[in-house]
């Protein structure tokens, strides 16, 4: 555990960490930031946690001693009553004992809550293979697929292409609802549907996932289980008058499928592929990606979710990542894979790879999938465990993983932009044509 005095790059232990990490970019600076935040976590969360836990154990010890006493007296009362002997003298002090137990129960309950509140606010610990860094600039590119095409003309973005083709209507979407919503029409709507079906078919038939269609609305307990609550309530749409939320990703209902359950070890690894719409308030992203379909309040996504044994989770992460990449390879869209650094990692993840697809109009790669291993972080919150069939088998937490396979809206964007020609026509990727009734091009 990191103590206050150790939060500096000069500390010998930290020097070792630096060497091991092998990060060439101003290691002292990075370490300073990392250690400062680690020390802050320690002072604000872990130290109080320790004290609360000591108090909690004390209270539990006292409470259980009194409960044991009460049980013994009650047994004696029962025995005397059965033998028709008087027992009233034993009632005397027991009312007081009962009251004390009730008080201690309340104390324990309060301490439990205080401990939980702290625990729920502590992010997951990054895996050793996650690159060290303060932010996204420390992310590491793992590999690239395909070559961005050279276009001999001025490329259009998907908004221009879609509007001209008559398959995208953002103005009317704004009328219907507001900013960051869209209407797809004709071949545009069909392309969205084709992509969903193509992705689900590939993952279920080729990659062995089981298809699942969950609710698009979940309760607060489910949101806590996967880590969206309590910290990220402002990112969610909540239903007025209910303790219900619109899901921001299928990860929430699908991972919580087994909340509070103990799975058979022989059933692992369990792999699901789910299509759902996703709803995000995008609070705090005002002004970012305001044009087009890149950042919407509602978008379609096919999500991959796995439950597995702890020792297999990093192998499963690589497989899941490859399964997601396969969609882009089949669509022949150029992409790269990036390992997120500790500074860019989400709250719940121990390791995350982003897949970024090439967007000609922006002349850069943009995130189209995020594949993460949460280790037992979500499993602990949602109480998802497994157990072998042997008599003395121990129950343990599963590891959970998920990744987009893929974000459908952004895939739609990538196809329009990467497959456009000089005349504003869009060639439909070979693998999608069966889903598009044999159509080969989108044209005005």
Cα(258)–Cα(262) distance, rounded to whole angstroms?
A: 8
Cβ proximity to RNA: between 18 and 94 the closer is 94
Cα(415)–Cα(396) distance, rounded to whole angstroms?
A: 43
Cβ proximity to RNA: between 56 and 127 the closer is 56
Query: Which residues make Cβ contacts (< 8 Å) with residue 353, sequence separation at least 6?
Result: 142, 317, 321, 337, 338, 339, 340, 370, 371, 372, 403
Instruction: Kindly list the residues in this chain that would bind RNA in the complex (CB under 7 A).
Output: 57, 60-61, 63-65, 67-68, 70-71, 73-75, 77-78, 81-82, 90-91, 94-95, 97-98, 102, 109, 262, 385, 387, 389-391, 395
Q: Is 329 a catalytic residue?
A: no
Cβ proximity to RNA: between 54 and 283 the closer is 54
Least distance (Å) from RNA to the CB of residue 57? 4
Look at the chain and count its residues: 444
Query: What DSSP designation does 86 have?
Result: -
Given the residues 56, 70, 80, 295, select the one marked as catalytic.
Answer: 295
Q: Is 295 a catalytic residue?
A: yes
Least distance (Å) from RNA to the CB of residue 130? 27
Structure tokens at 239: 């239903």
Cβ proximity to RNA: between 48 and 434 the closer is 48
Least distance (Å) from RNA to the CB of residue 309? 16
Q: Is 222 a catalytic residue?
A: no
Cα(102)–Cα(64) distance, rounded to whole angstroms?
A: 11
Phi/psi for 8 (5° steps) reads -145, 155
Contact between 349 and 148 under an 8 Å Cβ cutoff? The reply is: no
Least distance (Å) from RNA to the CB of residue 318? 29
Q: Is 381 a catalytic residue?
A: no
Query: Which residues make Cβ contacts (< 8 Å) with residue 186, sequence separation at least 6?
Result: 166, 167
Least distance (Å) from RNA to the CB of residue 54? 9
Residue in the structure block whose two tokens are 């978008």: 299
Least distance (Å) from RNA to the CB of residue 228? 21
Q: How far is CA 389 from CA 100, 263, 399, in A?
A: 42, 10, 19
Phi/psi for 72 (5° steps) reads -65, -45
Cβ proximity to RNA: between 94 and 270 the closer is 94
Q: Is 37 a catalytic residue?
A: no
| Pairing outcome for strands 364-373 and 399-407 | antiparallel
Strands (E), 6-150: 140-145
Given the residues 370, 372, 381, 385, select the one marked as catalytic.
Answer: 370
Cβ proximity to RNA: between 35 and 63 the closer is 63
Cα(313)–Cα(384) distance, rounded to whole angstroms?
A: 15
Least distance (Å) from RNA to the CB of residue 284? 33
Strands (E), 123-221: 140-145, 210-212, 217-219
Query: Which residues make Cβ contacts (< 8 Å) with residue 119, sequence separation at least 6?
Result: 49
Given the residues 180, 280, 381, 385, select the one marked as catalytic.
Answer: 280
Radius of gyration of the chain (CA): 27
Cβ proximity to RNA: between 79 and 329 the closer is 79
Given the residues 56, 367, 425, 443, select the one marked as catalytic.
Answer: 367
Active site (catalytic) residues = 280, 295, 367, 370, 410
């Amino acid at each position: 555990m990191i103590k206050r005095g150790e939060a500096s790059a000069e500390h010998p232990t930290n020097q070792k960490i630096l060497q091991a990490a092998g990060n060439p970019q101003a290691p002292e600076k990075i370490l300073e930031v990392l250690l400062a935040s680690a020390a802050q976590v320690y002072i604000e969360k872990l130290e109080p946690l320790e004290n609360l836990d000591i108090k909690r154990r004390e209270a539990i010890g006292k409470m259980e001693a009194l409960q044991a006493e009460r049980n013994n007296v009650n047994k004696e009362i029962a025995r005397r009553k059965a033998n028709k002997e008087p027992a009233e003298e034993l009632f005397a002090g027991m009312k007081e004992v009962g009251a004390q137990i009730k008080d201690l129960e309340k104390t324990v309950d309060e301490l439990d809550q205080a401990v939980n509140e702290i625990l729920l606010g502590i992010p997951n610990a990054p895996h050793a293979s996650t690159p060290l860094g303060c932010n996204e600039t420390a992310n590491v590119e793992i590999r690239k697929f395909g070559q961005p095409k050279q276009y001999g003309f001025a490329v259009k973005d998907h908004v221009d292409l879609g509007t001209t083709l008559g398959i995208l209507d953002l103005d009317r979407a704004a009328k219907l609802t507001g900013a960051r919503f869209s209407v797809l029409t004709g071949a545009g709507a069909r392309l969205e549907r084709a992509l969903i079906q193509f992705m689900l078919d590939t993952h279920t038939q080729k990659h062995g996932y089981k298809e699942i269609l969950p609710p698009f609305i979940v309760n607060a307990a489910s949101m806590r289980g996967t880590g969206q609550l309590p910290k990220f309530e402002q990112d969610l749409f909540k239903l007025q008058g209910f303790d219900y939320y619109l899901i921001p990703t299928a990860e929430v209902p699908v991972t919580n499928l087994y909340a509070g359950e103990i799975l058979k070890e022989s059933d692992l690894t369990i792999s699901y592929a789910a299509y759902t719409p996703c709803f995000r308030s995008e609070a705090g992203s005002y002004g970012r990606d305001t044009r087009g379909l890149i950042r919407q309040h509602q978008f379609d996504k096919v999500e991959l979710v796995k439950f597995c044994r702890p020792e297999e989770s990093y192998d499963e992460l690589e497989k899941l990542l490859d399964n997601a990449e396969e969609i882009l390879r089949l669509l022949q869209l150029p992409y790269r894979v990036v390992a997120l650094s500790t500074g860019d990692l989400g709250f719940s993840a121990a390791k995350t790879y982003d897949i970024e697809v090439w967007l000609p109009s922006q002349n850069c790669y943009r995130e189209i999938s995020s594949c993460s291993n949460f280790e037992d972080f979500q499993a602990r919150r949602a109480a998802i465990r497994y157990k072998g069939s042997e008599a003395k088998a121990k129950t343990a937490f599963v590891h959970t993983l998920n990744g987009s396979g893929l974000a459908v809206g952004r895939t739609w964007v990538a196809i329009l932009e990467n497959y456009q020609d000089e005349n504003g026509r869009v060639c439909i990727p070979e693998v999608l044509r069966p889903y598009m009734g044999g159509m080969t091009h989108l044209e005005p």
